[in-house]
Amino acid sequence: MIKKIATINDLSGMGRCSLTVAISILSVLGVQACPLPTAILSNQTGYPHYYINDFTDSMPCFIREWAELGFEFDGIYTGFLSDAGQVKVIENFLEIFKKKDTLFLVDPVMGDDGKIYSGISREMVKSIMQLSLKADIITPNLTECCILTGIDYAEVVQNAKSEDYLDIISEVCNKLLTGNVKKCVVTGINYKGINDDLDMIYNAVLENGEISFIKSANTGGSYSGTGDILASVVCGMVVRGKGLYEAVELATKFISKAVTDTYNCGTDRNDGVNFENHLDMLIKENNT
């Protein structure tokens, strides 16, 4: 039987992110993505301007219909939320659809580079923090990790050139293991270790009480949607019974290849990464 994941995220017409990314990646991993939109956008919010249609009032209609039809899910995966009130809707969704073996993954979309995204209110931050505590796995970037743990981002990254930086990161990451959270991935840690020839991006993986790091070369800076790609690969792989480290390792290689392609093509960062030409990497994984 093909696994099903309820994918609760926004749909952006332009800019490879959110549901556009999740549906593509989950599909090639052999998992059925079942979208529940939180908002419909003309383009993702990194562009100079955008149109957004908030979907909060329509989300309960999806839940009602799915419940009446008896749908069941192997995973529930949340990303961008457009209103703090959506957290209560998702909590209701969990009460109905989350069973003992249903994976619940939260990508706590709140900010990056030490700043909260425009349009994310304090109320929204509190709501996302509340939702994250209910997750089995969370996938914050370093900024979101600091928000969730109440640690000053600037104080953390000021140590980025010290040899014990990853030890400092480990201490911060371990504070995420609270509430229901037993596993997490912290992405986008910029660091050049003593054995690194190039600037690198590290992803921290916390699993079974241990932390490990997976790194790739920092090619051309950051691009929109890479966090969505990683969370989608992780959710799809784990639902299929794979280990978290294995999932993050595959996601890191996939993103690195797509980012290098994107950089060489001169693609605007708001357009996201050219991942489409590299989906064969995930198809091969699905066939193993």
Q: Where are the domains of the chain?
A: 3-273
Mean pLDDT of the region 79-89 = 96
Distance CA 121, CA 130 (A): 14
For the chain, give the percent of residues with pLDDT over 70: 100
Give which of 213, 265, 238 is closest to 29, Cα–Cα.
238
Eight-state DSSP code of residue 117:
P
User: What is the per-residue pLDDT across 208-262, written as a single tens digit (0 to 9) for each?
Assistant: 889 999 999 988 778 999 999 999 999 999 999 999 999 999 999 999 999 999 9
Q: Kindly report, residue by residue over 31-40, the tens digit of the pLDDT.
A: 999 999 999 9
DSSP string for 240-257: TT--HHHHHHHHHHHHHH
Dihedral angle over CA of 68, 72, 77, 80, nearest 10: -10
pLDDT(286) > 80: no
Band (287; pLDDT cuts 50, 70, 90): confident
| pTM for the full predicted model | 0.96
Instruction: State residue 5 phi and psi, 5-degree precision.
Output: -125, 120
Q: Which CATH class is domain 3-273?
A: alpha beta
pLDDT at residue 285 in the model: 79
* DSSP output for 192-216: --TT-SS-EEEEEEEETTEEEEEEE
- What digits encode the pLDDT tens for the residues 90-126? 999 999 999 999 999 999 999 999 999 988 999 999 9
Compute the CA torsion angle 12, 238, 115, 133 (nearest 10 deg): 110
Q: What is the mean pLDDT of the chain?
A: 94
What pLDDT is stored for residue 208 in this prediction? 83
Residue (of 82, 126, 77) closest to 105 by Cα position: 77
Structure tokens at 103: 């994976």
- C-alpha 152: how far from its chain's center? 21
Contacts of 256 (CB under 8 A, 6+ apart): 216, 217, 219
Task: Supply the pLDDT for residue 24.
Answer: 97
